[in-house]
Amino acid sequence: MTISLKPELQKLVEQKVRAGLFPSADALVNSAVEQVVATDDLQPGEMERLLAAGARDALQGRFVDEDEAFAKLKARSDAARRRS
């Protein structure tokens, strides 16, 4: 498989490899993909819907306490993992 990265992402990958954080660009990309797959609790398009709802709420001055928001997200993620 061959992939193409945006120039700014390619530069970031090169910097991480040069800094010794990953042995190669392949290792970094593999790690990133594994992390995305392991933490992918949302259905396709769900993130976009959630972001749009959040933007609407913010424009209307409706905000949520950060601790409460993170607790809800963690509970939702935990529940999704138990269902898997």
Dump pLDDT digits (tens) for 44-76: 788 888 889 988 888 888 887 888 888 888 898
pTM (whole model) above 0.95: no
Q: Pick from 21, 29, 34, 23: which is nearest to 3 by CA?
A: 29
Dump pLDDT digits (tens) for 17-32: 999 999 999 999 999 8
Alpha carbon separation from 83 to 30, 35, 47, 77 (Å, rounded) = 26, 19, 19, 10
